[in-house]
């Protein structure tokens, strides 16, 4: 297949990341078609944004580069039933997360280029940074290079969404997938949530007011995360008191000790050997009963009831505009948005 300098692109899926990618690529001069299920929840949104919307099969058939931006768990069926039978010989297949390719749920045709481009920020930030002339850092990878130009296509796409403005980092499908899963499980989502809940429970069980415990263990976490985001651990030390610094340096290791590190290694091992992937695939196939129960337990945790009441009085949460530098929880948002709305 002869591919132009600016390949004709099909975006399959129009959730937060899909919409941001499509808008940025169009503004960068690319011919973009959006592939969505007719009558689906995002079809109206994409048409309102001025895009040509086709069925996924039609969009894929007319594209030189196909970006798959739907949830991980629907991608294997989507690929087998829609993409593989319709994607042109020698086209480029692009993912924003390597899960299905890395764990063998999708085995792309040998004639295709297969690449990955993953912005390290939520869709809203990807769009906003592009509009003001900057870009969200991205990683990219090449899994199959049938044409000899796969890396070029990945970087072209990355530039089109604004990611190349921040020195895109080359990775592999294996590294992106395994580090992504580890980060969200051990630190960003799983680790942070359980740390906050355990801290809150410890204070409440000791007789302190739940509201005060909420402020200390959850609410103020954003202040520290913002400092991390803006300037790393160095910036945090510049802005917290010496008392806080000394306490952190001497007591932090009480919490993250050799036992914690051992559990982190266990998490990583289960990601590396495929244990987590097999469990999640089986859970999804069985209807997600355990996942739904675990999630509901998180939503029903007493800290959520306390937080809901306190946040009702924080009027700035719904009225204050967010700037890119202050956008909250960028990493966590990225990970949720990689599992975009099922649009195909």
Annotated binding residue 17: yes
Annotated binding residue 75: no
Annotated binding residue 318: no
Q: Give how far Cα 69 sits from Cα of 109, 305, 342, Å.
A: 19, 34, 9
Annotated binding residue 37: yes
The length of the chain in residues reads 344
Cα angle, residue 338 at apex, residues 130 and 344 outer, rounded to 5°: 105
> Distance (Å, rounded) from C-alpha 3 to C-alpha 7?
6
Helices in the chain by DSSP H: which ranges? Answer: 16-27, 43-48, 56-61, 75-78, 84-86, 99-102, 123-131, 150-160, 173-182, 190-205, 210-214, 221-239, 242-255, 258-272, 275-285, 289-299, 302-311, 316-319, 330-337
Annotated binding residue 123: yes
- The single residue of 97, 102, 237, 301 carrying the catalytic annotation is 97
Annotated binding residue 234: no
The answer to whether residue 97 is catalytic is yes
Burial 107-136 (b: 16+ CB within 10 A, else e): ebbeebbbbbbbbbbbbbbbbbbbeeeebb
Annotated binding residue 241: yes
Annotated binding residue 184: yes
With contact defined as beta carbons under 8 Å apart, do 146 and 113 qualify? yes
Annotated binding residue 58: no
Annotated binding residue 251: no
> Distance (Å, rounded) from C-alpha 69 to C-alpha 163?
16
Residue ranges of the binding site for NADP(+): 14-17, 37, 42, 123
Residue ranges of the binding site for Mg(2+): 180, 184, 216, 220
Q: Which residues are catalytic?
A: 97
Residue ranges of the binding site for substrate: 241
């Amino acid at each position: 297949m002869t591919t132009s300098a600016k390949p004709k692109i099909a975006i399959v899926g129009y959730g937060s990341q899909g919409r941001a990618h499509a808008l940025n690529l169009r503004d960068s001069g690319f011919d973009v078609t959006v592939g969505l299920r007719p009558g689906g929840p995002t079809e109206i949104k994409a048409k309102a944004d001025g895009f040509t919307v086709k069925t996924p099969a039609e969009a894929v058939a007319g594209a030189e580069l196909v970006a798959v931006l739907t949830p991980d768990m629907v991608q294997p069926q989507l690929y087998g039933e829609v993409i593989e039978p319709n994607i042109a010989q020698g086209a480029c297949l692009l993912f924003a997360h390597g899960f299905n390719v890395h764990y063998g749920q999708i085995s792309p045709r040998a004639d295709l280029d297969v690449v990955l481009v993953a912005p390290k920020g939520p869709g809203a930030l990807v769009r906003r940074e592009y509009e003001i002339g900057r870009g969200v850092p991205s990683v990219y990878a090449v899994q199959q290079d049938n044409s000899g130009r796969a890396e070029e296509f990945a970087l072209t796409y990355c530039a089109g969404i604004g990611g190349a403005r921040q020195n895109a980092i080359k990775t592999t499908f294996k590294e992106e997938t395994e580090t992504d899963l580890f980060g969200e499980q051990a630190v960003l989502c799983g680790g942070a949530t359980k740390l906050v809940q355990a801290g809150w429970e410890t204070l409440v069980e000791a007789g302190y007011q739940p509201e005060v415990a909420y402020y200390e263990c959850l609410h103020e976490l954003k202040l520290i995360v913002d400092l991390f985001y803006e300037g790393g651990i160095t910036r945090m030390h510049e802005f917290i008191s010496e008392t806080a610094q000394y306490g952190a340096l001497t007591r932090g290791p009480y919490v993250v000790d050799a036992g914690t590190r051992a559990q982190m290694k266990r998490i990583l091992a289960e990601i590396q050997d495929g244990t987590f992937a097999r469990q999640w695939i089986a859970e999804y196939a069985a209807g997600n009963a355990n996942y739904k129960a675990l999630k509901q337990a998180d939503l029903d945790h007493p800290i959520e009831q306390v937080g809901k009441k306190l946040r009702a009085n924080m009027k700035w949460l719904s009225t204050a505009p967010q700037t890119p530098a202050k956008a909250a929880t960028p990493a966590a948002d990225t990970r949720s948005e990689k599992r975009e709305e099922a649009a195909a």
